[in-house]
Structure 1
């Protein structure tokens, strides 16, 4: 019922499948992260301030923060389709800017402060890793670890 209602309101999902874009996510409460970001438009490259909600592998945006069960997102990005999230001050020549890229596009956002930018990048990055279908546990990269020497063959002493 909810899925067909979502399709009727939103059309087909941005993830390209038959699933509704919301994926049954109750975006109106319990967000992993929520707050204001300025987002560049997809077709008309103007900058608009939107209220973003990150929950269960989806990044939703709305015109204002008064979100209820009846609210309809202005858009949604399934983070499982995202490849990277990183700072983009140098690309846009704007403070607190970051980018989110998929195989087909790169989206740009501007936070209100450096701390907020870093928190969004960290939250979205964690969500990408948690919800990516293309990464198995054995392929997860720990970016905090130092580069490791080449694997030793059996019988060689450990360093």
Structure 2
């Protein structure tokens, strides 16, 4: 399902030579990310575990094969965190230390950090991003109850 999320965020059109539009959805993932680091991620179709470099920026969690991320890098995938419902520890589910899960309405993705501290930092960073980016949708819908019709 991560591939379907990728298509939803990136569009299904042909890739262009502009890496900002074709692979980052307008996010400069190579510059000043909110969080970066290695995580082991379970594959979408073949359920093998692979070590990937993750970059969290502007409400999107990108992953790459290499930790050297430049303007020319093409993400292997991306998760729009605003579509995520929860991020929480999953050691009991996977029976592995430092495991956590990220769930959307359609799927649950599993990750393994290298330490307990890194796991907690990823959960906190992703959780903060979920709240921040899901809130931005409702900010436009906020009603100002202090102003009454006729108050000018």
Shorter-chain TM-score bucket reads 0.7 to 0.9
Q: Secondary structure in 1 aligned to 2:30?
A: coil
Instruction: Give the superposed CA RMSD.
Output: 2.5
**Rg (Cα) greater in structure:** 1
Q: 1:14 aligns with which of 7, 28, 50?
A: 7
Q: Which runs of 5+ in 1 are unaligned?
A: 1-9, 138-159
Change (3 A) 1:36 1:17: closer
Q: Which has the higher contact order (CA 8 A, sep 6+)?
A: 2
Aligned length: 128
Q: CA deviation at 1:76?
A: 0.4
For normalisation by structure 2, the TM-score amounts to: 0.77
Give the SS at the match of 2:44.
coil
Long gaps (5+) in structure 2 = 12-20, 140-152
Looking at structure 2, the residues matched to 85 and 48 of structure 1 have their Cα atoms a distance apart, in angstroms, of 20
Q: Which stretches of structure 1, 4 residues or more, deviate above 4 A after TM superposition?
A: 16-21
Larger relative helix fraction: 2
- Show CA shifts across 1:29-80 (max 9, x none): 2010000000000000000000000000000000011111000000000001
Aligned pairs for 1:67-146 within 5 A: 67-132=69-134, 136=138
